[in-house]
Structure 1
């Protein structure tokens, strides 16, 4: 099994740059898995993508994978480090899926991650720190991404929070929540 790292944080915090640093430090061939779909008509979005592209070393392979993330991870070679940027965009690309389909896609991703021989660095946005969205699609996005990040953190060797240009290693500073099945045991030990 490869090493799984999760880098999370708010917009423009530096999380992608930190993930790029971790991928370079892996010593492996880096495959950048871009989940964004470029739209040249949206100049601001197009510029964000260009900014990311210009930071990458020339020897990195880039794959554009807006939806089929599980299959891409399953095909990864052990001598590679995949940098998946970002899970928020991937979730947004799948918002049209009904709840049952989404649960299947999520289960497949988590099962695949658990079996991949390559190292993987995931980048995920933190979106649940503000006002609850006033519209259903916004709430669905926030809830799906939050749940994915929480479940993926359990599989990750290290979880980082990047905020305000600072990196916090949550695996050292914090404690993971117990599984929901174990929650009663956890509470009784603290009582």
Structure 2
């Protein structure tokens, strides 16, 4: 079930990402709502990073393709889901600001906005899915518990062996030799 769900979830990002990589200009106008606000922040982080809307759209689309393929293939699924979720948030606000449209456009953008929220929910589930295996927090706390038990056991064993050695040495001194 997980394999099929991941493949279905990743497929939309692969297909739409390929379309945008091939034709980034189709999304640049919508993306400018977000990229123009993010450009100064990106420049502060690293002036060598692109801040042009077209370059950012193409980079985001390429990351969607890579992360979508990773998610669909079952490799690095949790980081891939996080990357897709992080990219989906600004995309949703840039592409579907339903509150700024009149009817009937508002209804279609609201539907697309809600679909993206559904995808975001699926990605968040994929990001925390440990595939039935215990998570890092659980494994860490239980590793500490096992270590503490192991140390207590070693201390008890050492005390018992020291006691036996003491008794044996005392008995050896009493034996005439």
Regarding TM over 0.5, the answer is no
Q: TM-score, normalised by structure 2?
A: 0.29
More strand by share: 1
Larger RCO: 1 or 2 (CA < 8 Å, sep 6+): 1
More helix by share: 2
Q: Rg bigger for which structure?
A: 2
